[in-house]
Copies of this chain bind each other. A is one copy, B any other.
Amino acid sequence: MKTEILTMLRETEGYVSGQELCNHFGVSRTAVWKAINQLKDAGYEIEAVPNKGYHLISAPDIMSAEELKSNRKTKWMGQEILYFDSIDSTNTKAKQLAEENYPSGTLVVADRQTAGRGRRGRNWESPQHTGIFMTLMVKPDMNPNNASMLTLVAALAVAKAITEVTQLPAQIKWPNDIVINGHKIVGILTEMSAQIDYINHVVIGIGINVHNESFPQELRETASSLLLESGKRFRRADIIEAFLEHFEKYYEVFLETQDLEALMNEYNRMLVNREKFVRVLDPKEPFEGKAMGITKKGELIVDTWESRKLVSSGEVSVRGIYGYV
């Protein structure tokens, strides 16, 4: 009921009367009053005016399922949302839910991860009250070979969402990071469960540094947060909502052709590596060149002195030669 009350308060310009709420849910005044008080306890500022009703003044920076669901404006993305104060890893949880037949578009959000993971089994710092640790699970009907492009679709949606909510110049570091002013703000870890010609599910784990005031020594040079870059505090639920909306839109476009044809121009405009010199850490033979953008298959185009090369994200990493990126 709290989710629905929040949704009604959000959708109403003026006041929602207590009687309306009683009628809507078929409960007593006391029950409504109790739910309103629980919302206040959770940090919602709700004005109560006699003979007029309730009005939502402001929402706290929490990511509870009620908050996220009442904030949601998508058609189906995030249709199921599960929130945890603390969890081992949102990717692990999302995989379990997929096996338990949760629907495509299920979102898992946590305030803290005790065993958050980055690429190739690395650790991902996930202290409480500082970030967004979320995993979106989807079940696309497509060939497993195309799944790696979903990382790029997610990166585009996150970059757009951050720019929209914070006005900061978020850029994509191909294939799976978001940077602002050259500092890493977001990491994306995509994992897939597949049969040879059939995707069971894909989980897209996204870690966003939001309120961090500092970082451990070894990350200080490379990492940053939205707070450090802007001096402001943003509501994490607003970023999640904006991400879901953008991702829903891009995902549907992507699924139509199962490539990035329709998205690559937008992606390339946000690509921090674009027209920059990069070093491609090819395990066989590292090389340097100028990154030109991505292909519709999600490969990075790198021009060396001799030739144009297409770099696939499954095989190499890419590092900027100048600066942090």
User: Chain A interface (Cβ within 8 Å of chain B)?
Assistant: 92, 95, 99, 119-121, 143-145, 148, 151, 175-176, 189-198, 200, 313-315
Interface of A is mostly: mixed
The distance from the CB of A297 to the nearest CB of chain B, in whole angstroms, is 13
Cα(A196)–Cα(B144), bound, Å: 11
In the complex, what residue of chain B is closest to A198 when comparing beta carbons?
B120
Cα(A229)–Cα(B264), bound, Å: 57
Cα(A190)–Cα(B144), bound, Å: 13
| Structural contact, A191 and B193, CB atoms closer than 8 A | yes
Query: Oligomeric state, in number of copies?
Result: 2
Cα(A315)–Cα(B315), bound, Å: 22
Cα(A194)–Cα(B193), bound, Å: 7
| Structural contact, B189 and A195, CB atoms closer than 8 A | yes
| Structural contact, B195 and A143, CB atoms closer than 8 A | no
| Structural contact, A315 and B197, CB atoms closer than 8 A | yes
Residues on B with beta carbons closer than 8 Å to the beta carbon of A193: 95, 191-193
Say yes or no: A119-B314 contact (C-beta < 8 A), given A92-B99, A95-B99, A99-B95.
no
The distance from the CB of A52 to the nearest CB of chain B, in whole angstroms, is 53
| Structural contact, A148 and B192, CB atoms closer than 8 A | no
The distance from the CB of A189 to the nearest CB of chain B, in whole angstroms, is 7
